[in-house]
Amino acid sequence: MNADEHVETEDDAADLHDEGAIPALPEDRSLLILDDDKPFLHRLARAMESRGFLVTQCESVAEGLAALENTPPAFAIIDMRLGDGNGLDVIQKLKEARPDARGIILTGYGNIATAVTAVKMGAFDYLAKPADADEIYHALMATTIDKPDAQENPMSADRVRWEHIQRVFESCDRNVSETARRLNMHRRTLQRILAKRAPR
């Protein structure tokens, strides 16, 4: 894997949005916030309520999926990694239940492979943590998707390796054992890498 492959992958994320016009804003302001960081969840909920949203707070994938069963929200802010699963599963169900919904994925891991997967599964946009309420609000209400050009900030060799591992991980449907087999890597070594934040 080389840096050129990464650039193509990041371009893919933009191309997914370029293929069609940015969808119109939903008419109502119902908002699901799913995050297992309670202080962050409560702060963000208050901030979004002050901006006119009707907020439902959830702390797990199970709670998030249950909330979708009742009344699928127009907007969602969903953390990627949760104690009982992956936020992508909630994004996917949200888009099935309400195609016009705008879901933003938040990830502390901020890697392009995951971002591409998130957009393919229905996310409107993605933001790396820490993201403040203003950034999240503007992403939810955006009329264009404008991600920076990767060529302006070339990655380190460690980051290129990280991106490659993440892309293989996503292609294996986030199966650690299969990813380790394909990368010819010990399973525990891979688990330690996946648990860490992305290198700069």
What's the number of domains the chain is made of? 2
State how far the alpha carbon of 118 is from the alpha carbons of 17, 113, 127, in Å: 12, 9, 11
- Range 77-93 average pLDDT: 87
Residue type, 98: R
Residue 108 in domain: yes
Q: Cβ distance 98 to 70 under 8 Å? A: no
**Tally of helices (H runs) and strands (E runs) in the chain:** 9, 7
Provide the residue range defining the domain that includes 191. Answer: 155-195
Per the prediction, the chain carries an average pLDDT of: 78
163 and 103 in a common domain? no
174 and 93 in a common domain? no
Residue 146 in domain: no
- Does pTM top 0.75 for this prediction? no
88 CB burial (10 A radius; 0-12, 13-18, 19+): buried
Q: What is the CATH number of the domain that holds 182?
A: 1.10.10.60
22 and 118 in a common domain? yes
Q: Of 5-14, 24-33, 146-155, 188-197, where does mean pLDDT reach its minimum? A: 5-14
